[in-house]
Structure formats: structure tokens, C-alpha cells
């Protein structure tokens, strides 16, 4: 294989598809605005239909819509003609995708869709096709040529369809005022979901795992508590569990520098008073920000009454 030839073919494909996409800008017109208005006013679901490669693209468009605030799902036209039409209600909007506009499996559904009075947004490459003529509004996804030498493999046409679908989804996202937090709710398992939904309460060491001693504890006992709980620190609390201070590995080094006798020194005499804390219910991302800003590795979680609820360590956050 000639590497230069392979690279030439690859660049040619990209250039052809870029040309097809660039033409789409002129097609963001009144038809596009009408389609967005119909989708924005949909009281049910957006149902996307498509056969073959158009079906694969339609599946992705439905998924993008659903994840950005527009409830949507994909229905295979062949299955719709054999019972799955029952999934489409009068409150729904249908997006039908067909480059030719003459896909038999979709055309078969037109009478039922009209009977149900369902708004029909079509995405076709042929403006005079049967599907386009029977639509509420049609979006032009035509491509001057496919990116293959034989001009038959769906490449440029599927790319324009995908981009037009993204344009719809993102426009609706903006019109709805969809935020990062909204997005995170639909992606609780993703990185963004973790950053925007995870709270310190979900990951903090709580209950018996909290390193905790009272203020009259000898330093040797406090060090034993630190060793057992393995967080490099211990909280010092009052009888009613209110935070009085903390004692850390750093405090231990400073104690040793002063040549204090750890067997006779009480932890209250060497603890750090008024330590940096964070409120219960705070986002974990905010806790990480606080720890990085102050260059600390542990953070005490308290409630509104200064009672210790837990301790979060930077390793837990990472």
C-alpha cells in the first residue's frame, strides 16, 4: 500500500464532507426556525424515524435530544409498521429522516401519522420527494456528492444529517435555558455528573471512621487515633461534638521542633484552632477547590451548629 495514496484519499473524504457541511449554513432559515418552534412546543416526545444509515444517524439524534432536555426516542420504521406505531401519541412530534425522501417503510406510515395529526418534521435530500411534500416542515440535508469515488456510499449525506440534528438539539438547548446542572442530571455516571452532583456527604468518612478526640486527650492518644484512622489528622471536639480544632501531621512536626514531651502534652495545647471547614451538603468539586487553594489534604465537614459530620480527604475526591 502506498501511504501517500491512503493519506490523499483520507484528506479527500474530509474535504468533500467539509464542503457539504459548509452549505448547511444557508439552510438555517425559516424552515429551521419552524422546526425548532414545533419541537419546543412538543408536549410529548420527539420520535425519530430512519432506515439504514439514516436510522443509525436518527438514533444518535434522538439520544442527543434526550440528553439535552428534549425527551426523544428512536423507532425503527419497519417495526412501526408492525405495531410500534402505538408508541407515537397525539402529543408527540415525529422527525423522519430519508435522503431520497422515498423510503418505503416511512412512506407507509404517512397515513397513520396524518390520522393522528402528529406534526411531521422531515429531513431529506430531495425537496420534491413524497416525504418532503407530506411534511409539516422539511429540512434540506442534501449533499452535492458523497465522499466515495462511486458516489453511492452514504457519507456526506449522513454527515449533513448528523450536523443538522446537532443544530436542532443545541438550538433547543439554548432556547430552553438548559444548564450544566441540567446536563449533569441526565449524565449522573459521567465525569460532569460527578463534578456537578456529587456532594461531600457522599464520600466523606463519617461515624466511627471520623478521627476524633476530646480536648483533654494526651498527644500520644491523639497520635494513636490519627494512626488508626489513617487520614493524617484528627478532629478535636467538645462533649457535644462541636469542632474545637484539628491536629495534623504538620502540627506534629511543629510540636517536635519545639521539643515538647508528647507523653505529657495535651492536644488542646498544640491543636490548630479555627481550622478551614466545609458545610455538609457542599458539592465535592467545591471541597476540592478549597483544599487546593489552601494546600491542605483533609477537610472537616460540619453542620450549621459546628458539629462534626465527617472528614473528606483529597484522595477521596480524586
What's the pLDDT at 150? 83
What's the pLDDT at 193? 62
What's the pLDDT at 39? 97
pLDDT digits (tens, 9 = 90+) for 275-302: 999 999 888 888 888 989 999 989 999 9
52's enclosing H/E stretch is helix 52-67
Rounded CA-CA distance 58/97 in Å is 7
Q: What is the mean pLDDT of residues 58-87?
A: 90
Q: Mind giving me the DSSP string for 59-128? A: HHHHHHHHHTT--EEEE-HHHHTTTGGGG--TT-EEEEEESSS--HHHHTTHHHHHHTT--EEEEES-TT
Its pTM surpasses 0.85: no
pLDDT of 105 > 70? The answer is yes
Rounded CA-CA distance 8/16 in Å is 12
Locate all alpha helices (DSSP H) within 150-234, ordered by sequence: 156-176, 180-185, 191-197, 200-203, 219-229
Domain range annotation of the chain: 3-195, 200-317
What's the pLDDT at 179? 73
pLDDT of 186 > 70? The answer is no
Question: Given pLDDT bands bounded at 50, 70 and 90, which one contains residue 190?
Answer: low
pLDDT digits (tens, 9 = 90+) for 150-165: 877 889 999 999 999 9
Q: How many C-beta atoms surround the C-beta of residue 151 within 10 A?
A: 10
pLDDT of 205 > 90? The answer is yes
Question: Given pLDDT bands bounded at 50, 70 and 90, which one contains residue 135?
Answer: very high
Q: What is the mean pLDDT of residues 125-140?
A: 96
- For residue 11 the three cell numbers come to 484528506
Share of the chain above pLDDT 90, in %: 68
Rounded CA-CA distance 282/197 in Å is 10
Question: Given pLDDT bands bounded at 50, 70 and 90, which one contains residue 222?
Answer: very high
pLDDT digits (tens, 9 = 90+) for 233-269: 999 999 999 999 999 999 899 988 888 888 999 999 9
What's the pLDDT at 121? 98
Rounded CA-CA distance 21/164 in Å is 9
Q: Do the domains spanning 3-195 and 200-317 agree at the CATH topology level?
A: no
Q: What is the mean pLDDT of residues 42-48?
A: 95
Question: Given pLDDT bands bounded at 50, 70 and 90, which one contains residue 195?
Answer: low
Q: 228: buried, middle or exposed (CB in 10 Å: 19+, 13-18, 0-12)? A: exposed
pLDDT of 76 > 70? The answer is yes
pLDDT of 194 > 70? The answer is no
What's the pLDDT at 1? 66
Rounded CA-CA distance 189/97 in Å is 31
Q: Which of 202, 203, 197 is nearest to 181 (CA)?
A: 197
Q: Which of 163, 107, 162, 155 is nearest to 135 (CA)?
A: 107
pLDDT of 94 > 90? The answer is yes
What's the pLDDT at 178? 77
Question: Given pLDDT bands bounded at 50, 70 and 90, which one contains residue 188?
Answer: low
- Write out the CATH class of domain 200-317: alpha beta
312, 299 Cβ separation under 8 angstroms: yes
pLDDT of 187 > 70? The answer is no
pLDDT of 204 > 80? The answer is yes
Question: Given pLDDT bands bounded at 50, 70 and 90, which one contains residue 314?
Answer: confident
Question: Given pLDDT bands bounded at 50, 70 and 90, which one contains residue 184?
Answer: low
Which CATH code fits 3-195?
Answer: 3.40.50.10490
Amino acid at each position: 500500500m502506498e501511504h501517500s495514496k491512503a493519506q490523499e484519499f483520507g484528506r479527500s473524504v474530509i474535504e468533500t464532507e467539509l464542503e457539504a457541511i459548509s452549505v448547511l449554513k444557508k439552510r438555517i432559515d425559516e424552515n429551521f426556525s419552524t422546526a425548532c418552534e414545533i419541537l419546543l412546543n412538543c408536549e410529548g416526545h420527539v420520535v425519530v424515524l430512519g432506515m439504514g444509515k439514516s436510522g443509525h444517524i436518527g438514533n444518535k439524534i434522538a439520544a442527543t435530544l434526550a440528553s439535552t432536555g428534549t425527551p426523544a426516542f428512536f423507532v425503527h420504521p419497519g417495526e412501526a409498521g408492525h405495531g410500534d406505531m402505538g408508541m407515537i401519541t397525539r402529543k408527540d412530534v415525529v422527525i423522519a429522516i430519508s435522503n431520497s425522501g422515498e423510503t418505503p417503510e416511512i412512506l407507509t406510515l404517512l397515513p397513520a401519522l396524518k390520522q393522528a395529526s402528529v406534526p411531521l418534521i422531515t429531513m431529506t435530500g430531495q425537496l420534491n420527494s413524497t416525504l418532503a411534500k407530506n411534511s409539516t416542515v422539511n429540512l434540506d440535508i442534501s449533499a452535492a456528492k458523497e465522499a466515495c469515488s462511486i458516489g453511492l456510499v452514504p457519507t456526506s449525506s449522513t454527515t449533513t444529517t448528523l450536523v443538522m440534528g446537532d443544530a436542532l438539539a443545541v438550538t433547543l438547548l439554548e432556547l430552553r435555558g438548559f444548564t450544566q446542572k441540567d446536563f449533569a442530571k441526565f449524565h449522573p455516571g459521567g465525569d460532569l455528573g460527578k463534578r456537578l452532583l456529587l456532594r461531600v456527604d457522599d464520600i466523606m468518612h463519617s461515624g466511627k471512621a471520623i478521627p476524633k478526640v476530646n480536648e483533654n486527650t494526651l498527644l500520644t492518644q491523639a497520635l494513636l487515633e490519627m494512626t488508626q484512622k489513617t487520614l493524617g489528622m484528627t478532629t478535636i471536639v467538645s462533649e457535644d461534638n462541636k469542632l474545637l480544632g484539628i491536629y495534623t501531621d504538620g502540627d506534629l512536626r511543629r510540636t517536635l521542633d519545639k521539643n515538647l514531651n508528647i507523653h505529657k502534652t495535651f492536644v488542646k495545647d498544640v491543636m490548630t484552632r479555627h481550622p478551614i471547614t466545609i458545610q455538609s451538603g457542599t458539592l465535592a468539586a467545591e471541597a476540592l477547590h478549597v483544599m487546593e487553594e489552601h494546600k491542605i489534604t483533609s477537610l472537616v465537614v460540619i453542620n450549621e451548629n459546628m458539629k462534626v459530620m465527617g472528614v473528606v480527604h483529597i484522595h477521596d475526591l480524586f
